[in-house]
A and B are shown apart, each in its own frame.
Chain A
Amino acid sequence: MTGLRVDNVVVRYGGAHPVTAVDGVSLTVAPGETVALLGPSGCGKSSLLGAVVGIVDVDAGQVVWDDEDVTDVEVHRRGFGLVFQDGQLFPHRSVARNISFGLEMQRLPATDKRARVLELLELVGLDGLGDRPVTDLSGGQRQRVALARSLAPQPRLLALDEPLSALDADLRGRLAIEVRDILAAAGTAALVVTHDPAEAEVMATRVLRMRDGRLA
């Protein structure tokens, strides 16, 4: 069990104005560890996160999990979870059915699925709200659902892209602590991208700074 190893990863975007968003970054995340990637907007941290998860193509370098090269493994086979800034909940599904999406993809039996959804609702403090439409939720509640949805299929690694930035300052502070505790309770390795140093300090066990596509 060595966890995640990112090896000299390069991400370039083509088009009229080609840019190198990630310029040879290497890092590791051990199992159970939460690493924060801290940097200003446009420094390439989200591209790096996308490359780790598999939604951004890697132009050079490797993404390795437990000595297995997953660089060319498609996103849905990689077993890495992802939480976006604005949740990206499925508007046509209830809270519970959002959380159970990943479990459906694993074709889990219905009883196990129900149990796991209840367990996660409790973990993120949304007991009893399973049948709500996600459109009725507050911003903070939505991010809790997004977190629960990503944790449900028990990902090997959870990637969080500015998970709290869309929330107001007061809520952000409280939720940062909660997210840390939830991740600790789940025992999942996590990589958090943020531009807020205080948030990084609260959530992460280790903070890496990024600038112009490189680690500082």
Chain B
Amino acid sequence: MHPRRHRRHLVWWAVAALPLGFLGIFFVWPLLTVLARGLWDGGFDWAGTWAVVVDPRTADALVTTAGLATLGTLGSLALGIPAAYVLYRLRWRGQVTVRAIAAVPFVLPTIVVATAFTALLGRSGPLAFLGWDQTVWAIGLAMVFYNTSVVMRIVGGSWAGLDPRRADAARTLGANRRQAWWHVTVPALAPAVASAASVVFLFCATSFGVVLVMGGTRINTLETEIWLQVNQFLDIRAAAVLSILQLVFVAGILAASAWARRRRERVLGTRTVDGTRPATRSDVKVVVPVLVALGLLLAAPLWALLSRSLKVGDGYGFDHYVALFTDPPRSVLPVSVWQATLNSLTTAVIAASVATGLGLIVASLLARRGRKAAVLDAIVMLPLGVSAVIVGLGMLLTLNRTVLGVDLRGSWWLVPMAQAVVALPLVVRTLVPPARAIDPRMRAAAGALGASPGRVWTRVEWPLLRRPFGLALGFAFAISMGEFGATSFVARPDRPTLPTAIYRLLGRPGAENLGMAFAAAVLLAALTASVMMVSERMRTTVGGDL
């Protein structure tokens, strides 16, 4: 090989070693350990693995996972598709604001959503009379709350770009409205719907916090079953086998999703037209019901959460918020919720710094496309396909010991590292498009003006990536603040984060504890939402493709 090319190659891999090393220690090694524990027990133990697979609890968890995901997906489509029409295909004043409000649930931490629905449907909640507490209907509704905006965005994007003249052409050929809809519009939208459905199905099938909090003891999915096996039955082996099942399950969904996406690209082609039209008087009968349904779904749980966090006895007051600053009884929480909040803030700062620091390195390396960039990209995206619960379990199994002379047992360092693993893929997806938008010839121009590769980075690339970096930092911070799946495995009981503290409070008897849980959830929601709002301002025209 050419000596200069060879040296650049070496430098590239030397820089890549940092993110790869991080993922190796905190992701790949823990993941492989989980796989090994699932299949080995002193030797290759197929019988032991099989015993877990055929256990009735496992079948139950699998059926529940698939059933809940189906329910959540169907519900999200039922509301999301009409919402896509109203908010994307039609044009009306105030639409942009409504879209932004409709996207709010997606940035809320799962524990907040679960707590809000508990406030709405649980005992002494405004809708307690429905008797939906700890049922699949409640969980399904929470999933719809979460994922309607996902359907809306994917289908809406496709619908807005659909050429209306296609349906007109069908009409001129003698099709009535209904026939034009069925034979032209539906087939054109189908790939987007399929793609949205598979993404939502994946989110529902891996939504750990919502099921753990709202399912009580009766409803268990693969993920909560993993958690139960570790924390209640202390059966690591079973948890590892379930993790393998979960990985296979998710891989199946991802394959289906990739297939649907390819089809969508094929149908849409590259041509996009403006297919939107102004809303008319006759659209009112569609627009109003959709907006009312969206509004109720969004407002009811959040309103229930807020009002119950303020409800004291028969009146209202800030008592539950004040209680966040006091030390509760040891049996409830070892520290005050305020202390847990500080833990969360510290952890999130570290996790976000690690994730964005590594993400920036990865994005700079991926700026130039090529074979080694594709390899690195694939490796960095891996955590996206592995549930946070498995990441947490794996770290619990591998890193609860001394590594390279550092005693990690029970170390709180594991928490930010786990959160950084979870946030890294999203950080990379936020930073890569702006990094790739920098013309390689601009770097060449700087080089020809005498800037060394290092100075090209500090003087040209970094100034152009600063704003996307701020956006990614905010994303990573919000993700870490709300992260529950992996954190619930590695957070020490005496050093809870805000989400794990809320979970503890929800599980303790007493109106006081419940009230504190509601107040804490409001605090967490306010913290993450404000961080997201500030960082959204950093979005530039070349922003990420989230």
Show the binding face of A for B, using Cβ within 8 Å.
Answer: 50, 53-55, 57, 59, 72, 74-82, 84, 88, 90-92, 101-102, 104-106, 146, 149-150, 153, 155, 159
Contacts and interface: CB of A to CB of B under 8 A. Distances in A.
A153 B450 contact: yes
A106 B449 CA distance: 9
A48 to B, nearest CB: 15
A101 B447 CA distance: 11
Given A76-B455, A82-B444, 15 more contacts: A54-B448, A72-B4, A74-B4, A74-B447, A75-B444, A75-B448, A76-B448, A76-B451, A77-B450, A84-B445, A88-B442, A91-B464, A105-B450, A105-B451, A150-B449
Given A55-B448, A80-B448, A72 B3 contact: yes
Interface string B179-191: 0000000000000
Contact of A102 (B4, B450, B460): B450
Interface in B440-483: 441-442, 444-453, 455-456, 459-460, 463-464
B2 interface: yes
A81 B448 contact: yes
8 contacts: A50-B444, A59-B2, A81-B448, A90-B442, A90-B460, A101-B449, A149-B449, A153-B449
Contact of B444 (A55, A90, A105, A153): A55
Nearest to B371: A15
Q: Is the interface of B mostly helix, strand, loop or mixed?
A: helix
A134 to B, nearest CB: 12
B8 to A, nearest CB: 9
Contacts of A84: 441, 444-445
B368 to A, nearest CB: 12
B439 interface: yes
Nearest to A59: B2
A149 B450 CA distance: 12
Contacts, number: 73
B7 to A, nearest CB: 10
A45 B302 CA distance: 64
B85 to A, nearest CB: 38
Contacts of B450: 76-77, 79, 102, 105-106, 153
A55 B449 contact: no
A153 B448 CA distance: 10
B5 interface: yes
Contacts of A76: 447-453, 455-456
A142 B148 CA distance: 47
A93 to B, nearest CB: 8
B446 to A, nearest CB: 7
A101 to B, nearest CB: 5
A185 B442 CA distance: 26
Contact of B4 (A57, A104, A149, A155): A57
Contacts of B463: 90, 92
5 cross-chain pairs, A with B, having the tightest CB-CB distances, nearest first: A102-B449, A105-B450, A82-B448, A75-B447, A88-B445
Contacts of B451: 76, 101, 105
B449 A81 contact: yes
A88 B439 contact: yes
B401 to A, nearest CB: 45
B459 A101 contact: yes
Interface string B502-514: 0000000000000
A25 to B, nearest CB: 18
B446 A101 contact: yes
A153 to B, nearest CB: 6
Contacts of B3: 72
Nearest to B439: A88
A53 B4 contact: no
B447 to A, nearest CB: 4
Contacts of B441: 84, 88
B281 to A, nearest CB: 43
Given A84-B441, A91-B464, A53 B459 contact: no
B221 to A, nearest CB: 45
A90 B455 CA distance: 14
A92 B464 CA distance: 7
Nearest to A80: B448
Contacts of B5: 57
Contacts of B460: 90
Contacts of B4: 57, 72, 74
A3 B467 CA distance: 44
Interface in B1-36: 2-5
A101 B445 CA distance: 10
A84 B441 CA distance: 8
Contacts of A50: 444
A77 B448 CA distance: 8
Contacts of B456: 76
Contacts of B445: 82, 84, 88, 146
A92 B542 CA distance: 14
A159 B445 CA distance: 11
B541 to A, nearest CB: 11
A73 to B, nearest CB: 10
A155 B455 CA distance: 19
Contacts of A153: 449-450
Nearest to A149: B449
A46 B5 CA distance: 19
Nearest to A105: B450
B444 to A, nearest CB: 4
B458 to A, nearest CB: 11
B2 A57 contact: yes
Contacts of B459: 101, 104
A98 to B, nearest CB: 10
Q: Which of B444, B452, B453 has the most CB of A within 10 A?
A: B444
A108 B456 CA distance: 18
A55 B2 contact: no
Contacts of A104: 459
B445 to A, nearest CB: 4
A53 B217 CA distance: 70
Contacts of A57: 2, 4-5
A76 B445 CA distance: 10
A50 B446 CA distance: 14
